[in-house]
Structure 1
Amino acid sequence: MVKKKIAFVFAVFCATLLLMAVQKPVFLAYYAAEAAQVSAGDWLRVVWHGLTLDSTVAGYVTALPLLLTLLSLWVRLPRKVWRRVLDGYFVLVAVVTAVIFAVDVELYRHWGFRLDSTVLIYLSDPKEAAASVDFWLGVRQTLLAAAYAVLMIWAYRRVMRLFDGEPVRRCAALPWSFVLLLLAGCDFLAIRGGLGASVANVSKAYFSSNMFLNHAATNPVFSFLTSLGDHADYAAEYPFFDEAERAARFDSLRGNGPSAGPSEPVLKTTRPNVVLVILESFARTVMDAQVDGRPVMPNMQRLKGEGIWFENFFANSFRTDRGEVAIMSGFPAQTRMSVMKLPAKSRSLPSLARSLAREGYATNFNYGGDLNFTNQASYMYATGWQQLVWQKDLRFDTPPADWGYDDAVMCDWFADRVIAQGETGRPFLAGLLTLSSHRPFDVPFAEFDDRELNAFAFSDACVGRMIDKLKASPVWDNLLVVLVADHGYPWPRSLAYNESLRHRIPMIWVGGAVAGPRVVDTYASQIDICATILGQMALAHDDFDYSKDVFAPTPPRKFAYYTFNDGFGVVDASGEAVWDATSGRAVSQTAPDLLDVGRTMLQTTYVDIGNR
């Protein structure tokens, strides 16, 4: 009797998983012209990679039947009561899933992305929405939904044969309850998306630079339900100015204004191979730190004198996901949200990878950890990175640490990869995100007693060896290596989360493509990297509204802008202004006019997100 209860829970999960998986070949067949351009192996990979999110949806669907099965061990109710409740539940699941799938599979043709909460905007005016639907199209999608719902109901009816609503003896109820609680733990892991650091998100299904395949692998039920909270009125978050005034103020600050002028050349070539190394938590205060007269980061100090050193450079945020978007898309960080976690919006951002791919550059990004974390893979594939390599793709003799393979392994491997790319003759953009200078700071290194500084010293040593290896190879002659932190770090520990020094970070340009060492005093931040690199390559960067070319000789105004949990800071040569939204006041304003600069940037960022 009890074994049937356990089998019922398993069967619910497995049946749901299979019912979700069957959507993939149907979707591919629906778009036969696009699907015909990929291989049979790609069809299988779509199904395989889609199983992660399918499992998450199956976990959610299984949760209620599992709970009712647990209750049935202890509660005596007529068998037909249990069955009616479960029958009604499964019919509801089938109908909702079928409607979502039928709507999604057709809307994809027009939208180019899987169903999300955007559809609710149009359903707010059902007459207008219905008027835009062709009658026979409506019939076809209704029949598709009905057929899929019937299939699901038929499958669940077969599963229901295993359900036994009879209670068991008290002596048996307790141990079998523990078994079901263990199953509940497994179900929770399916909902969460596994044991890794990253939770279930659409990046889990992404596996290819072909976005059609990634979209085909995405579960539309997951995509829709997880985006229900994404339809906030972003433009109303920070209503400092009316729309006309906000737009006028931003026009004087925008990075792609026509008055910027040509960039002062600091490279020997306009077509270098570009290596972008994003350094985990490399704060300027840590870089400048010493212990008993010994520098914590001797290699960064050495490279500072060998290349182009940006003296007054700042991070845009305190989180990696927001820093990456600022670096790679020139888009300002947000306060209490991350646009990277909103695929429907982040996919429309400009990006350095996409701009260089248009010029024939091969683009790849590499990380020793999990790029599914905070939706990084989804964002990167959508914005032009053609190949992503991360922990799941790598096999080294040394075991990975908590966050992934340490910087010693990855920097050495990445240097070899860059050298090999240089031998192909095709221009390339290669990215690397380091990870060892991150909690828990567990590294195979013993230079300093302080655990945090020791980890930073380890990462510095790894990066230094990587640069030296590249310098000794022929690829160096045409290489631009951009070393920049993803965000700062609270060192010393008394450093407040909102002060400007907390957000000050190093940026160094080295490589054979650099014309010569120099110090750049201009105030800038991560959002300015894209325009500055593209400006050196004499490439248009009109789509980067916020990114300013540091080497452009004329306005717009040069400043560094950053955000924290609920506020912003702006720094330039005249001083700083830091504003806290919680208290609604400035906590520092040595240059009060910068408050309106920050207000304009923050409001414009949210208005922009709302319009995407």
Structure 2
Amino acid sequence: MRSFWRFSGLVAALFMAMFTVQRHLFLAFSHQHLVGISWRDILQSHLHGLPMDLSATGYMLLLASLFAVPMLFSRSKALRKSFRFTLVACIVLSALVNVVDIGLFDAWGVKIDRKALSYLRYPAEVAGATSVGRMAMLLLVAGVQCLFFLFLLKKIDLLEEDFRKVRSRARIVTAVLFPALCLLAARGGPQDLPISKSWAWFSRYPVLNLAAMNSVWNLLETTVEPAEFSENPYAFMPDADAKKLFAQGHRHTGGPDDRIIEVQRPNILLIMLESWTADVIEPLGGDSGVTPQFTRLCKEGMLFTNFYSTGFRTEQGLCALISGFPSQPTTTIIRKYGKFDRLPSVVRTLDSAGYTSRYYYAGDVSFANTRAYLDAMGFDKVYDENAFPIERRTRWGAYDEELFNFHLRDARTATVPFFQIIMTSTSHEPFDAPVHEGFEGSDGNLYRNTVHYTDRCLGAFLDSAKSQPWYANTLIFIVADHGHYLPHNLPQYSAARHRIPFLVTGGALKNDLRGSSNATFGSHVDFPVTLLAQLNLPHSQFPWGRDLFSNATPHTAYWTFNNGFGIADSTQQVVFDDRSKRVIEIRDSSRTADEQRLLNAGKAELQLLLDRYMEFDQ
């Protein structure tokens, strides 16, 4: 039996070496997130990853044992072929999962999770989110991995022995002991509790924690875990305490202290800008020259300087803007039937006040279940790529210029007062639209290039809109659907990544507010309450939001990311990672009282958010 055990040991060593190489690759491709991190901390990532590597190896060999154990009692060629095929499949799967995780971390700051897997129903859109060059490079990396480790596997293949010649006792002992050892490795050892993701969480740097978390193990855990929660994963405190803290932070007044509109029932136009971040908005302290038209528009409107996205996906921002419902760390309510259709809707409230409604998008509006959500929210008309002839398109739909032009034509037929949303798309990843705006080269410049294009289209659209009969009576809100890690390679959890532009302009805005700024902290979820309060319409059905123009309301910005949240106000800023159970970003470490106050408020909000999310099924 020595050859069997020797081969098994060599295969285990091969898998462990493969996982180490893949961890190096993950860190190498994420090098921009390692700035300021010591080599000692990076080495700790490898050391903390070893138990999970061993667990993943145990699972792979346990699967292979389904064929290896019968081979001890049979000379069947089919068994041997199946055994080798299983090992080959494990190597190929591991290589593919490794490069998928590299791509996911680059875009979302996560490894494969249930939210990412839910996008597999949209393969074309998933492929469209990555440039051809980037995808080719990742596939090349996966291919080289496969060739190298399959070559090593072939070199150590020692299973040509006829084990039937070995004593029966030795074969029986091996048949019992081999799967048992695999199972022991898979659970992480003989300790009471099996291995979990928390074993990989050791650092305040998420990139090191994710590197330590074995990709194959994470995929297995993600696919077998329950699809939804059986209990609230964020139960930080007694319900009474959470509700008390939430009530203190969401005090509602009778109406806004500041009126921003000249008329009682203005038209409402909401323009959502794909992936715009404050880092490319000069009036917000961002790069100069990227959004000159937006800078010009700021002189005609009121700019919020402390506005944050609720999440990092379009559907999260959309759901917060229409339903006032915050994003969730590991799920997306817009794709959950029986949940999203029970959300409140600013569209329905406006409809009861005589408003008509339209939604404009130049791509596939069914992506991420958006069409079903918009229909459930009560939109009168939803326009997508099939609504008008398209001359030029990106992977995500028609160019923004064509979308804006279509709106100018269609809005002439709209019954007033109206509520309309325009959702742009040209500045979506992978930022490969062949527009030439003067930015060349790096990923950061590719991003700046497409944002500059959308900015130019936005300026031209609003200049044309001013000559339309509806403009003088229209309040226009311009906001990003979410931020982006580019152009400065920000981590997914950071406050800076979630800080986005929010501008109020249009003919219905009071003249004395033009060219002003507002330092109130807020996020997407505040839009329904703020808008309806200005229109003197009921808004109690939106408990998560606050009226941005109410001086008596405590104002905070709140966002979530994968298993964590961030919260900020005028005194402090806190980012909390639930896996490591620690604060991983803070604005001012000397303000400990404000840190604890915001941390408790954020925990209470997340706990009640998941309570409400789960209640929708009941």
TM-score normalised by the chain length of structure 2 = 0.60
Deviations 1:498-544 (A, max 9, x none): 11111000011111100021211111111101111111111110100
Could you list the runs of 5+ residues in structure 2 that have no partner in the other structure?
Answer: 1-118, 128-224, 589-593
In the other structure, the counterpart of 2:341 is 347
2:565–2:576 CA contact under 8 A, matched in 1: yes
How far did 1:474 drift? 1.9
In the other structure, the counterpart of 2:399 is 406
Q: Percent identity?
A: 30
How far did 1:273 drift? 0.5
How far did 1:232 drift? 2.3
Matched, 1:419 2:412: yes
Closer/same/farther in 2, CA of residues 419 and 198 from structure 1, 3 Å limit:
farther
In the other structure, the counterpart of 1:552 is 550
2:275–2:480 CA contact under 8 A, matched in 1: yes
Which of 240, 243, 246 matches 1:247?
243
In the other structure, the counterpart of 2:614 is 610
Deviations 1:423-470 (A, max 9, x none): x4x311111110000112133421221221111100111111111111
SS in 1 for 2:520: coil
* Residues 366-405 of structure 1 mapped to structure 2, 5 A cutoff: 366-396=360-390, 398-405=391-398
Deviations 1:137-179 (A, max 9, x none): xxxxxxxxxxxxxxxxxxxxxxxxxxxxxxxxxxxxxxxxxxx
Which of 471, 485, 491 matches 1:490?
485
Structure-1 separation of matches of 2:235 and 2:451: 40
SS in 2 for 1:521: strand
In the other structure, the counterpart of 2:264 is 270
2:305–2:518 CA contact under 8 A, matched in 1: yes
How far did 1:262 drift? 3.9
Q: Give the aligned residue type for 1:436.
A: T
In the other structure, the counterpart of 1:432 is 422
2:282–2:288 CA contact under 8 A, matched in 1: no
Which of 514, 529, 532 matches 1:531?
529
SS in 1 for 2:525: helix
SS in 2 for 1:310: strand
Which of 444, 463, 472 matches 1:477?
472
Structure-2 separation of matches of 1:192 and 1:393: 26
Kindly tell me the number of residue pairs found equivalent between the two proteins: 387
Which of 229, 232, 235 matches 1:232?
229
Q: Give the aligned residue type for 1:582.
A: R
Greater Cα shift, 487-496 or 323-332:
487-496
2:357–2:420 CA contact under 8 A, matched in 1: yes
Closer/same/farther in 2, CA of residues 386 and 263 from structure 1, 3 Å limit:
farther
Structure-1 separation of matches of 2:505 and 2:252: 29
SS in 2 for 1:295: coil
1:263–1:549 CA contact under 8 A, matched in 2: no
Q: Give the aligned residue type for 1:428.
A: F
How far did 1:249 drift? 1.8
Q: Give the aligned residue type for 1:250.
A: F
SS in 1 for 2:271: strand
Structure-2 separation of matches of 1:415 and 1:582: 48
Closer/same/farther in 2, CA of residues 293 and 598 from structure 1, 3 Å limit:
closer
In the other structure, the counterpart of 1:601 is 605
* Residues 53-452 of structure 1 mapped to structure 2, 5 A cutoff: 196-197=124-125, 231-233=228-230, 235-254=231-250, 257-259=251-253, 261-288=255-282, 295-396=289-390, 398-421=391-414, 424=415, 426-447=416-437, 448-449=439-440, 450-452=445-447
Closer/same/farther in 2, CA of residues 443 and 231 from structure 1, 3 Å limit:
closer
How far did 1:258 drift? 4.7
Q: Give the aligned residue type for 2:503.
A: I
Q: Give the aligned residue type for 1:197.
A: E
Closer/same/farther in 2, CA of residues 194 and 610 from structure 1, 3 Å limit:
closer
1:263–1:536 CA contact under 8 A, matched in 2: no
TM-score normalised by the chain length of structure 1 = 0.60
1:343–1:379 CA contact under 8 A, matched in 2: no
SS in 2 for 1:237: coil
Which of 449, 463, 472 matches 1:454?
449
SS in 1 for 2:567: strand
Closer/same/farther in 2, CA of residues 609 and 306 from structure 1, 3 Å limit:
same
Q: Give the aligned residue type for 1:406.
A: Y
